[in-house]
Structure 1
């Protein structure tokens, strides 16, 4: 399920957009209190899929949460040229909204 107003859950198509995505994650979370448990990596030519459970801790409140994620990465000439994230963005959006950190000014709206 896609939560269109989640700060991290909007489409991004440029290197700058992707860099902004990770800066946004860092702004909301405690870097030393995050992690991922990879359950499977599948590779087929230039494509790879990573299945994992991600854990984050909200900076403002210290509230920890986790969600499943699948990453589809395509590499060409040693560079990642495609990075698709499939996550439980509803859990992320609800956690950030519950903590008063939901910021519609950084997101698009489907309303």
Structure 2
């Protein structure tokens, strides 16, 4: 189970999402790239490449991701994350990570 991958609908839920991400990874061993950002009015899609190291297992992983965002009146009103959850789950379990 990946603790941050679940439905969320409140500000508190979103804050918990980011705390779970922070707590699960080694901050000094993270990185990523954002090769493309597409914007259409209030909506945007951000394509990325995540590089993390799981604190509990020491496993490094790299996974593609996309974020779908909507910004209204200066606030993010939609934040959907699409990621390679199999690679993330394998790293959390300590399994060999596909690469």
Same fold (TM over 0.5): yes
Question: How many positions carry a matched residue from both structures?
Answer: 95
What CA RMSD, in Å, does the superposition of the two structures yield over aligned residues? 1.3
Partner of 2:62: 66
> 1: CA distance between counterparts of 2:26 and 2:91?
14
Q: Which runs of 5+ in 2 are unaligned?
A: none
Partner of 1:92: 88
Equivalent of 1:49 in 45, 51, 54: 45
4+ residue segments displaced more than 3 Å: none
- TM-score (norm: length of structure 2): 0.89
Seen in structure 2, the aligned counterparts of structure 1 residues 97 and 62 have a Cα distance that, compared at 3 Å, is closer
- When you count strand as a share of all residues, which structure comes out higher? 2
> 2: CA distance between counterparts of 1:92 and 1:7?
11
Equivalent of 1:35 in 31, 50, 55: 31
Measured after TM superposition, the shift of residue 25 of structure 1 is 0.9
Larger RCO (CA within 8 A; separation ≥ 6) = 1
Measured after TM superposition, the shift of residue 84 of structure 1 is 0.4
> 2: CA distance between counterparts of 1:60 and 1:9?
17
Q: Which runs of 5+ in 1 are unaligned?
A: 100-111
Secondary structure at 1:27's aligned position in 2?
helix
- TM-score (norm: length of structure 1): 0.80
Partner of 1:20: 16
